[in-house]
Amino acid sequence: MTSWDDQVESWTVHARSAESDPFFWEINLPVVMELLPPPPCQVLDLGAGEGRLTRAMTARGYTVFSVERSLGMLRALQLAGEDGNRALLNGDACALPIKPGSVDCVVSLMVLMSIADARSAVREAARVLRGGGLAVFAVLHPLVTCGRMGDDGDLRVSDYGKCSLPAPRLVQRSVLLTYEHFHRPVGTYLTWSIDAGLTLEAVVEPVPGAEQIAAHPRFRRWEGVPNMLLWTARRRAPRP
């Protein structure tokens, strides 16, 4: 697997630029913010990366615990400054050093498809949530992890129903990045969530609107095709 530690610099440049990653800034971030419970509450940002979501959440009044496996990413997050109520934790989403039932909300954005044992990460998210707490998960859409967007704008999908690890993709944005993503069908992620003791509340597959397509040339080929799959699920309260 490509290590995120080797891509800290290029990811940081890409992640912070609205031109390089309009999907995050224009579409995914506003959708995630709407799905979160209202502040103030504690949120665990699982796989926080260089911290763009952590910063957006602290700016809105959340108390954020940013969990990251890559020390390089955590350093980038720290260097971006202390601009809110947050704590950093070096840890693995599949084995969280956190007590059961101790957080109000877990958010994991663009992380599960990077993890071989993502089912354990979903279980861990459910374990650390308090009864009634909310998980917000977002992954690169399974149509994208098993598909290829042609220059003609047609998405060619193959082996949608099989869990697999397609070959790494080298992508030139404002920087060169290598993405290595596990492919799982939508139902696999949702079933893992239900099996972990969560009740599904929302499933969202956002697509760019007409104004966004006009403003960002990169959206043009994505008219009507979701780039991201988001779902929310609530920790079932233990029976009295």
Ligand X SMILES: C[S@@+](CC[C@H](N)C(=O)[O-])C[C@H]1O[C@@H](n2cnc3c(N)ncnc32)[C@H](O)[C@@H]1O
Q: Is 92 in the site for ligand X (CB under 6 A)?
A: yes
Considering only residues 26, 68, 104, 124, which one is a binding residue for ligand X as defined by CB under 6 A? 68
Q: Which of 32, 35, 77, 111 binds ligand X (CB under 6 A)?
A: 111
d(C-alpha 131, C-alpha 85), whole Å: 24
Choose one: 47-55, 149-157, 164-172, 190-198; the region binding ligand X (CB under 6 A).
47-55
Binding mask 114-153 for ligand X (x = CB under 6 A): xx--------------------------------------
Whether the upstream peptide bond of residue 40 has omega within 30° of 0, thus cis, is yes
Classify 126 as helix, strand or coil.
helix
Q: Where are the beta strands (DSSP E) in the chain?
A: 42-46, 63-68, 86-90, 103-109, 129-140, 147-149, 155-157, 169-172, 176-179, 198-204, 228-235
- Residue closer to ligand X (CB basis): 49 or 133: 49
What φ, ψ does residue 30 adopt, rounded to 5°? -60, -35
Q: Which residues contact 214 (CB under 8 A, 6 or more apart)?
A: none
Residues 2-21 that bind ligand X (CB under 6 A): 4, 15
93 binds ligand X (CB under 6 A): yes
48-67: contacts with ligand X (CB under 6 A): 48-49, 52-53, 67
Q: What is the DSSP letter of 6?
A: G
Question: What residues make contact with ligand X under the rule CB under 6 A?
Answer: 4, 15, 47-49, 52-53, 67-70, 73, 92-94, 109-111, 114-115
